[in-house]
């Protein structure tokens, strides 16, 4: 009995001790909160006010996992992400019972099914398309769907490795992003589009200007098939690339040609390009030095601004034109960007793409300049819409990030990505195994192409690039849909807006 009493006494003393420590901690927090001046809530409501910050932080995760409906989340909803996950896993992507998509939402694209679609033996796979006929080494691109620019630095080494191997497996190209050409881009053996950003990473001299010798060295890699001059990207038009210093490792610094451990901020434009004439001169110079097709990536603020550019091309001659133009929408993503630019600047791809396609047609440049669509196009319907609107190719970055395992944690700018995709923390990178993930990258690309072909066949054409605007209806504010060729009337005979190809 005595020993039992002793045990109870010890437990009671321990409990009292815990209570005492907790009370002391609360008292310290109370005094600290009352005395600090940075947070008014904690100053007025010591200790209890701290719960607001905790719940605000946790709310982001609770909304994602418990409260948001399948079609509600932004920037990508659960239905979009789940589709990519199933495609990347090479599982059947059929669904049961009925669509969960609200088809009355304005802007929704509805494809017009044909009364007599082509039979299986009449259907055709997408044919390769030539880019850069005036380059010494033109590029024959095999796939309508490819990987958009993601720099080594913005994304991790294992992520780049997986993308490179997956791109080679699927027969698609990989855009290097503006961070230069790393060994991991080359490791998989895929075709590469080398992006030249405003800081000229990877092809710059000691003063940060374009270096022809470095250009030739990059072009000497047979995997590098094209060059892309990045004028702007959708998430931050008018602002250069931003790579936080925590991500500038010695390896990344060497590849880019910059100091390690310091924020890497690119100029907001190419310093040697003051007008469209300078831009055409730079494109021609890079094409002459490298011998390979050269294009540009930009965001449309107002389509009429491009009229002067296309008029100058007509004046100089078709050989002076960029070999391709990548149009990024204002809804595009990135690892780090100011909120006002990400939210408010640049036309959305759904508005910009058809108008640029029409301008190319108007100036008789559609067959000379290939048009590439980018920005938030991650599902088959997105890609099919872009082709119908006038694009020749579609590229995606975030779609392939989802294929790698991205959970939309929104930590890309903090070096704490829990999936290892956008972090250089070795502990977190261990979660991303390139030998496994590259198969998901390839499966996702193949599934997109296959299902876009399925949409094309359903509307009555034999392959995706035969999609036209009259194959799509766009839901209006009234809830009714209108044909896309009435909303964006095609320019000129034989344009991408007219159905001029039928079943063979």
**One-character DSSP codes across 205-258:** -TTSSB-HHHHHHHHTSTTEEEEEEE---TTSTTS--EE-GGG--HHHHHHHTS
pLDDT tens track for 160-198: 999 999 999 999 999 999 889 999 999 999 999 999 998
Q: Which residue has the higher pLDDT, 324 or 303?
A: 324
Q: Is the pLDDT of residue 234 over 70?
A: no
pLDDT bracket for residue 396 (50, 70, 90): very high
Q: Is the pLDDT of residue 503 over 50?
A: no
Per-residue pLDDT averaged across 416-433, rounded? 84
Q: Is the pLDDT of residue 124 over 60?
A: yes
pLDDT tens track for 139-148: 999 999 999 9
Looking from the CA of 307 toward its CB, the CA atoms found within 13 Å total 5
Q: Which two tokens stand for residue 418?
A: 């829990």
Q: Residue 36 — φ and ψ, nearest 5°?
A: -70, 155
Task: Check residue 405 and give left, alpha or beta (phi > 0: left; psi -120 to 50: alpha).
Answer: left
Per-residue pLDDT averaged across 336-358, rounded? 76
Q: Which two tokens stand for residue 201?
A: 């990473």
pLDDT bracket for residue 499 (50, 70, 90): very low
Q: Which residue has the higher pLDDT, 164 or 233?
A: 164
Mean pLDDT over the full length of the chain: 83
Report the pLDDT value the prediction gives residue 100, as an integer from 0 to 100.
Answer: 66
Report the pLDDT value the prediction gives residue 479, as an integer from 0 to 100.
Answer: 86
Strands 393-396 and 145-147: parallel
Report the pLDDT value the prediction gives residue 239, as an integer from 0 to 100.
Answer: 57
CA 441 vs CA 43, 60, 254, 404, 435: distances in Å: 50, 28, 28, 7, 11
Report the pLDDT value the prediction gives residue 105, as an integer from 0 to 100.
Answer: 82
Per-residue pLDDT averaged across 110-117, rounded? 90
Report the pLDDT value the prediction gives residue 502, as an integer from 0 to 100.
Answer: 29
Q: Is the pLDDT of residue 501 over 60?
A: no
Q: For residue 279, give the nearest of 261, 260, 298 by alpha carbon.
A: 298
Report the pLDDT value the prediction gives residue 493, as an integer from 0 to 100.
Answer: 41
Q: For residue 251, give the nearest of 203, 314, 180 by alpha carbon.
A: 180
Q: Is the pLDDT of residue 68 over 60?
A: no
Per-residue pLDDT averaged across 98-106, rounded? 72
Q: Is the dihedral of CA 85, 86, 87, 90 positive or negative?
A: positive
Instruction: Find out whether 236 and 137 touch, Cβ atoms under 8 Å.
Output: no
Q: Is the pLDDT of residue 83 over 70?
A: no
**Percentage of the chain exceeding pLDDT 90:** 45
Q: For residue 181, give the nearest of 139, 247, 226 by alpha carbon.
A: 226
Per-residue pLDDT averaged across 227-249, rounded? 73
Give the DSSP letter of residue 281. H
Per-residue pLDDT averaged across 242-256, rounded? 79
pLDDT tens track for 194-216: 999 988 999 988 888 899 999 99
Q: Is the dihedral of CA 136, 137, 143, 145 positive or negative?
A: negative
Q: Is the pLDDT of residue 259 over 70?
A: yes
Report the pLDDT value the prediction gives residue 491, as an integer from 0 to 100.
Answer: 64
Buried b / exposed e along 401-432 (16+ C-beta atoms within 10 A):
bbbbbbbbbebbbebebebbbbbbeeebbeeb
CATH homologous superfamily of 136-456: Aldolase class I (3.20.20.70)
Report the pLDDT value the prediction gives residue 494, as an integer from 0 to 100.
Answer: 43
pLDDT tens track for 322-346: 999 999 876 665 555 565 555 556 7
For the ranges 309-313, 393-397, 400-404, the lowest mean pLDDT is seen at 400-404
**Domains of the chain: which residue ranges?**
2-67, 136-456
Q: Which residue has the higher pLDDT, 39 or 205?
A: 205
């Amino acid at each position: 009995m005595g020993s039992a009493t002793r045990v109870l006494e010890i437990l009671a003393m321990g409990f009292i001790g815990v209570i005492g420590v907790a009370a002391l901690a609360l008292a310290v927090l109370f005094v600290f909160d009352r005395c600090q001046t940075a947070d008014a809530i904690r100053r007025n409501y010591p200790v209890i006010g701290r719960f607001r910050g905790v719940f605000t932080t946790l709310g982001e995760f609770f909304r994602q996992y418990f409260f948001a409906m399948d079609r509600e989340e932004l920037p990508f909803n659960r239905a979009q992400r789940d589709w990519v996950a199933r495609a990347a896993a090479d599982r059947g992507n059929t669904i049961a019972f009925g669509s969960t998509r609200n088809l009355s939402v304005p802007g929704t694209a509805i494809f017009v099914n044909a009364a007599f679609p082509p039979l299986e033996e009449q259907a055709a796979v997408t044919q390769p398309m030539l880019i850069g006929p005036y380059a010494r080494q033109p590029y024959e691109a095999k796939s309508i769907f490819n990987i958009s620019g993601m720099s080594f630095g913005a994304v991790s080494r294992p992520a780049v490795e997986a993308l490179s191997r997956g791109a080679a497996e699927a027969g698609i190209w990989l855009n290097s992003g503006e961070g230069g050409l790393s060994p991991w881009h080359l490791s998989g053996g895929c075709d590469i589009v080398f992006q030249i950003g405003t800081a000229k990473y990877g092809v710059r001299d000691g003063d940060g200007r374009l270096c022809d010798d470095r250009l030739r060295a990059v072009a000497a890699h047979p995997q590098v098939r094209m060059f892309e001059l990045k004028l702007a990207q959708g998430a931050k038009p008018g602002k250069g690339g931003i790579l936080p210093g925590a991500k500038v490792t010695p390896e990344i610094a060497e590849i880019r040609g910059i100091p390690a451990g310091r924020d890497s901020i690119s100029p907001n434009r190419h310093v040697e390009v003051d007008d469209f004439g300078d831009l055409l001169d730079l494109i021609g110079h890079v094409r002459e030095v490298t011998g390979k097709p050269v294009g540009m990536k930009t965001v449309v603020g107002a389509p009429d601004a491009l009229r002067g550019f296309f008029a100058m091309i007509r004046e100089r001659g078709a050989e002076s034109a960029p070999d391709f133009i990548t149009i990024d929408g204002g809804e595009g993503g990135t690892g780090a960007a100011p909120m006002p630019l990400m939210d408010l600047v640049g036309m959305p791809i759904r508005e910009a793409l058809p108008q640029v396609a029409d301008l190319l047609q108007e100036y008789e440049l559609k067959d000379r300049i290939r048009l590439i669509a980018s920005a938030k196009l991650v599902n088959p319907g997105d890609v099919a819409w872009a082709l119908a609107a006038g694009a020749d190719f579609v590229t995606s970055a975030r779609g392939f990030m989802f294929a790698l395992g991205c959970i939309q944690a929104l930590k890309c700018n903090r070096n704490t990505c829990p999936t290892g995709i956008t972090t250089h923390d070795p502990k977190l990178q261990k979660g991303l195994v390139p030998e496994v993930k590259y198969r998901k990258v390839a499966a996702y690309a193949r599934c997109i192409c296959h299902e876009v072909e399925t949409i094309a066949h359903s509307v009555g054409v034999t392959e995706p690039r035969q999609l036209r605007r009259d194959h799509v209806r766009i839901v209006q504010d009234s809830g009714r849909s209108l044909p896309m060729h009435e909303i964006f009337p095609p320019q000129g005979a034989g344009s991408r807006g007219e159905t001029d190809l039928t079943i063979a």
